């Protein structure tokens, strides 16, 4: 659901941000930085490693990548980048790494395109990974946030050649997944409010939604999370992270403490402005220019999360844009039978003509360098672009549509042990039609055989939350009504008897005349939600009914 922030919370947050620029003094230079050349001379830029310490004594390791050519007396914008979960930073040996053309996420794991263009890049190891110490806590505002602020403090104190504007450091950030999460956290916790522009790719707004949608744990990713974290962090994950994964896998549900932790480790905590007891006070994120790159096929951080982040940051007046493309955390739904065309590798990273790595470079050149040519080029990048096909074709919209054309779902009996999904027709296109945005739904899950005299009419031993179903929007092509493809592999679980009013996962597709959209309803969903089923053998089936509102845009122009 869309976020609301009170005017009072927003006003207080902005006042705190304004006062915070005069925070405690920066640390003194520590001698680890390389000296800039004297005015009038130059030298080739180099890369070198630095270690500092967090508040709890943990090592923070990062690499400073100087621009290709260091000119005495010249100043350079600073970019900060962090890797994905369990991945290493771009270190000195990787300075010249160049990804093959069309490589997905190429803009997030190379520094060369930026150092060659005159940026200083600081690439760091996330807390608990690589050469950085501490426990892996999944972007804890107090632990990871402390490390992030200290890195920026070090750079500002030790690199006198960094660009400043109006007395403030000129700073940008980029990275994907976990490397996107750090950017939102830094923007929220830096007391000096130094971040000017960011590019978070395929990242989250609310980890509670990401890992536990509809109160059903994403068990595939809970398992991957703990295995990757333990293997990459020398068995050094925060016990709360291990407990969370165990609850999802063994109990099939997260505890209230799990959900509170996930919320605190999310941008939504700050966007909503609702503080938790004993935690830092949630103030609305400060103004920042943000380019969100979100994967349409991403089954852990979907389009909804990118839109929620974008809407939150737009509330403070920043230039915020959202591009949905075909890169992401991909784990097929296991049900799709139709392939939506085959695109080239370069098509994965674009929405129409807007290619991620090129747009990223333009973004920073315009926002940090204020280069006139880049500013002009950025004027052609839309506010929102949603990819609707695997070949990179997209649709440009001023506002992402939420809900729309209503279709009824008649009562449908869903057997609890059946692995096969049931199909309910929703919409048939009579002309070429684009469907792109966030579907919404009202779903009623009921007991199909109520027993008189028993609470809720349920069999003894059956609880109200034992019911569990999985729903998805699927497409069939004209002439192939039985071959269904789940759009963008997006599956949404629901748990518990009663009425559920919710947003389904974001989708994008282009229908030809005669193509249809269906609601698939199933009792299980492999491989995204392994072992997540209704575990009570007394619950043989549930009844499902309600309505779905589809973001039908019509026969609108698309971009290639």
Torsions phi, psi of 85, nearest 5?
-60, 120
Residue 24 has pLDDT above 50, yes or no: yes
Residue 378 has pLDDT above 50, yes or no: yes
Q: β-strands 171-176, 168-169: how paired?
A: unpaired
- Mean pLDDT of the 116-139 span: 95
Predicted confidence band of residue 13 (pLDDT cuts 50, 70, 90):
very low
> Do 429 and 513 form a contact (C-beta atoms < 8 A)?
yes
pTM for the predicted model, two decimal places:
0.93
- Mean pLDDT of the 291-297 span: 97
Q: Cβ of 433: how many Cβ atoms within 10 Å?
A: 21
Residue 372, SS3? helix
Residue 298 has pLDDT above 90, yes or no: yes
Q: For 382-418, what is each residue's pLDDT tens digit?
A: 999 999 999 999 999 999 999 999 999 999 999 988 8
Burial of 30 (0-12, 13-18, 19+ CB in 10 A): exposed
pLDDT confidence of residue 243: 83
Which are the contacts of 454, defined by CB distance < 8 A and separation ≥ 6? Answer: 460
pLDDT confidence of residue 532: 82
Residue 175 has pLDDT above 80, yes or no: yes
Residue 340 has pLDDT above 50, yes or no: no
> Do 323 and 291 form a contact (C-beta atoms < 8 A)?
yes
- Mean pLDDT of the 217-237 span: 68
pLDDT confidence of residue 286: 97
Residue 62 has pLDDT above 80, yes or no: yes
pLDDT confidence of residue 9: 41
Residue 156 has pLDDT above 50, yes or no: yes
Share the mean pLDDT of the chain. Answer: 89
Strand segments (E) across 335-450: 350-351, 354-355, 384-387, 394-396, 405-415, 422-428, 433-437, 440-446
Strand segments (E) across 187-333: 195-201, 289-295, 320-325
Residue 479 has pLDDT above 80, yes or no: yes
- Mean pLDDT of the 478-482 span: 84
Which are the contacts of 125, defined by CB distance < 8 A and separation ≥ 6? Answer: 60, 61, 62, 82, 83, 88, 89, 131, 132
pLDDT confidence of residue 1: 45
Tokens of 292: 């969100």
- Paired with 542 in beta bridges are 414
Q: Considering only 85-94, 139-148, 405-414, 448-457, which range has the smallest mean pLDDT?
A: 448-457
Element (H, E) at 315: none
Residue 504 has pLDDT above 70, yes or no: yes
Predicted confidence band of residue 10 (pLDDT cuts 50, 70, 90):
very low
pLDDT confidence of residue 226: 61
Residue 225 has pLDDT above 80, yes or no: no
């Amino acid at each position: 659901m869309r976020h609301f922030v009170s005017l009072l919370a927003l006003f207080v947050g902005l006042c705190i941000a304004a006062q915070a620029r005069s925070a405690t003094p920066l640390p003194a230079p520590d001698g680890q930085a390389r000296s800039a050349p004297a005015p009038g001379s130059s030298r080739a830029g180099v890369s070198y490693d630095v270690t500092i310490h967090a508040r709890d004594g943990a090592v923070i390791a990062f690499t400073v990548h100087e621009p290709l050519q260091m000119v005495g007396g010249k100043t350079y914008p600073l970019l900060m980048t962090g890797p994905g979960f369990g991945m290493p930073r771009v270190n000195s040996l990787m300075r010249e790494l160049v990804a093959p053309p069309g490589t997905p996420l190429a803009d997030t794991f190379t520094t060369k395109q930026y150092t060659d263009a005159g940026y200083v890049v600081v690439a760091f190891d996330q807390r608990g990974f690589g050469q950085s110490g501490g426990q892996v806590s999944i972007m804890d505002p107090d632990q990871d946030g402390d490390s992030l602020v200290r890195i920026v403090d070090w750079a500002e104190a030790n690199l006198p050649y960094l660009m400043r504007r109006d007395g403030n450091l000129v700073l940008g950030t980029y990275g994907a997944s976990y490397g996107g999460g750090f950017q939102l956290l830094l923007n929220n916790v830096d007391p000096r409010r130094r971040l000017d522009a960011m590019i978070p790719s395929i990242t989250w707004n609310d980890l509670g939604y990401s890992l536990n949608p509809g109160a059903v744990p994403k068990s595939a990713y809970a398992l991957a999370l703990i295995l990757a974290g333990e293997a990459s962090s020398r068995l050094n994950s925060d016990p709360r992270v291990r407990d969370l994964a165990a609850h999802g896998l063994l109990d099939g549900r997260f505890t209230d403490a799990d959900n509170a932790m996930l919320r605190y480790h999310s941008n939504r905590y700050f966007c909503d402005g609702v503080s938790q007891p004993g935690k830092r006070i949630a103030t609305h994120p400060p103004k920042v220019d943000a380019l969100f790159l979100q994967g349409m096929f991403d089954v852990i951080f979907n389009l909804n999360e990118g839109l929620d982040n974008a809407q939150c940051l737009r509330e403070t007046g920043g230039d915020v844009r959202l591009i949905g493309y075909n890169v992401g955390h991909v784990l097929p739904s296991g049900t799709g039978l139709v392939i939506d065309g085959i695109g080239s590798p370069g098509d994965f990273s674009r929405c129409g003509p807007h290619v991620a790595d090129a747009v990223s470079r333009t973004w920073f050149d315009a926002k940090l360098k204020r280069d006139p040519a880049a500013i002009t080029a950025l004027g052609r990048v839309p506010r929102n672009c949603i990819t609707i096909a695997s070949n990179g074709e997209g649709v440009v919209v001023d506002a992402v549509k939420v809900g729309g054309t209503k279709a009824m779902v008649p009562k449908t009996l869903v057997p609890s042990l059946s692995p096969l999904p049931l199909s309910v027709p929703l919409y048939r296109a009579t002309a070429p039609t684009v469907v792109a945005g966030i579907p919404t739904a009202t779903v009623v899950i009921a007991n199909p055989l109520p027993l008189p005299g028993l609470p809720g009419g349920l069999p003894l031993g059956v609880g109200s939350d034992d019911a569990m179903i999985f729903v998805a929007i699927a497409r069939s092509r004209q002439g192939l009504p039985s071959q269904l493809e789940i759009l963008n592999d997006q599956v949404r679980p629901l748990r518990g008897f009663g009425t559920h009013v919710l947003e389904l996962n974001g989708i994008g597709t282009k229908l030809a005349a005669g193509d249809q959209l269906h609601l698939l309803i199933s009792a299980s969903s492999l491989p995204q939600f392994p072992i997540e089923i209704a575990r009570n053998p007394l619950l043989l089936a549930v009844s499902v009914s309600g309505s779905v509102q589809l973001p039908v845009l019509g026969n609108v122009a698309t971009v290639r």
